[in-house]
Amino acid sequence: MSTHPHPEDDIEKYFDKLQILNQSVWDSVCHKPQINKWLEQFKGNVVSAEEEKKYMIYALSKFMYFSQRMVREMLISLYRDFIRAPIIQDIRRNNGNTTNIEELSKLYSEDLNTTRFIGVGNPAESGAHLLYIFRQVNNLEKKLFCDLHGAFDIVADPDGGTPHWVARTSNIKRYIFFDDFVGGGTQASRYLEKPIASIRSNNPDIELIFISLFSTSNGLSKLNEVQLFNGKASCLFELDDTFKSCSPGSRYFEKHPSWFSIETFRRIAEYYGTFLYEQPLGHGDCELLLGFSHNTPNNTLPIFWKNGSINESLMKWYPIFERFDKNYGLWRAK
């Protein structure tokens, strides 16, 4: 492969594209000085520094970044298409396929009052944070939202067995669990599997649903297992294996320039990523090029989001879309 770029593939071409993206889609979060600072870290340890920078700015031009404005629009779509529309369809089906708008509105309001939205994980995490915005943009009442412990009591088993999760309010028929992003589904599984088993056992008529903005196909499959949401987990955007940026068949680089090689891109991402994160291609080897205004998933290539390296004496690292990691406290290390 030639190390001299063809004029049409000059690095400035990608700066021009990024300037358009930054102004029209990314809400001006990524400017040329930041990009240059990030690019300067690719020193030519895999191929020449010039080639590495060209690979990285080309990859950056394919990055899927969702601004706050776009996230809000997605939250509106999520509510409209995955909650409101199915409930209204059921109401119509149970009421002679009525098209009476006033009647549908009244019945929908009554049904919604028997629904509770629950953020997955700690209240300080991104899922709960977005649930607050979800409530705002869809003009929903505050009373429809709670956390897991606000919705259920944990009652001790008199025989010394596993405690029971019992609904605090008897007239709630539907609980909708929400998260912004699902990677492998293991975190949600660890958090919810035991409570869900108990909830189903003690409240057999309750409907349990999971919704998210984004999910990998593997994560969605995990959440739809019988012991979790049993086919009632869904997302607005499903990320299948074509969203793996370093693998053959990657949709990011479907129509790539003649100089681009997916193998070389993978080698660059792996080499630098090794210094940054224990999984150099992103958590679960997801290889994503994905970020949001509120955070970047660790399933994205760490060369884009990691601030600092595994060993600060080896390499300092400046991210282009910084991730704010969860601080679990000292107890987690014990």
CATH number of the domain that 198 lies in?
3.40.50
Domain count, the chain: 2
In a domain, 233, yes or no: yes
124 pLDDT band, cuts 50/70/90, is: low
pLDDT greater than 60 at residue 7: no
pTM over 0.75: yes
pLDDT greater than 50 at residue 332: no
Lowest mean pLDDT segment, chosen from 113-122, 123-132, 281-290: 123-132
Residues 120 and 75 in one domain: yes
Residues 58 and 103 in one domain: no
pLDDT tens digits for 94-113?
999 988 999 999 999 999 99
Residues 92 and 150 in one domain: yes
pLDDT greater than 70 at residue 154: yes
Residues 192 and 234 in one domain: yes
In a domain, 2, yes or no: no
Q: Which residue has the higher pLDDT, 315 or 200?
A: 200
Residues 74 and 47 in one domain: no
Mean pLDDT for all residues in the chain: 90
Lowest mean pLDDT segment, chosen from 85-89, 156-160, 172-176: 156-160
Q: Which residue has the higher pLDDT, 304 or 15?
A: 304
d(CA 300, CA 315): 20
pLDDT greater than 90 at residue 313: no
Residues 200 and 76 in one domain: yes
Q: Which residue has the higher pLDDT, 212 or 2?
A: 212
In a domain, 331, yes or no: no
Residues 153 and 294 in one domain: no
314 pLDDT band, cuts 50/70/90, is: low
In a domain, 329, yes or no: no
pLDDT greater than 80 at residue 125: no
In a domain, 178, yes or no: yes
Q: What percent of the chain has pLDDT over 70?
A: 93
Which of these three, 206, 239, 272, is where a domain ends? 239
Residues 233 and 251 in one domain: no
pLDDT of residue 13: 87
Residues 51 and 145 in one domain: no
pLDDT tens digits for 194-251?
999 999 988 888 999 999 999 999 999 999 999 999 999 999 999 999 999 999 999 9
In a domain, 38, yes or no: yes
Q: What is the mean pLDDT of residues 296-300?
A: 95
Which of these three, 211, 239, 267, is where a domain ends? 239
In a domain, 135, yes or no: yes
Q: Which residue has the higher pLDDT, 78 or 120?
A: 78
40 pLDDT band, cuts 50/70/90, is: very high
In a domain, 173, yes or no: yes
pLDDT of residue 285: 96
Which of these three, 239, 274, 292, is where a domain ends? 239
Residues 136 and 36 in one domain: no
Domain extent, residue 128, equals 68-239
d(CA 234, CA 207): 14
Residues 195 and 78 in one domain: yes
Residues 270 and 128 in one domain: no
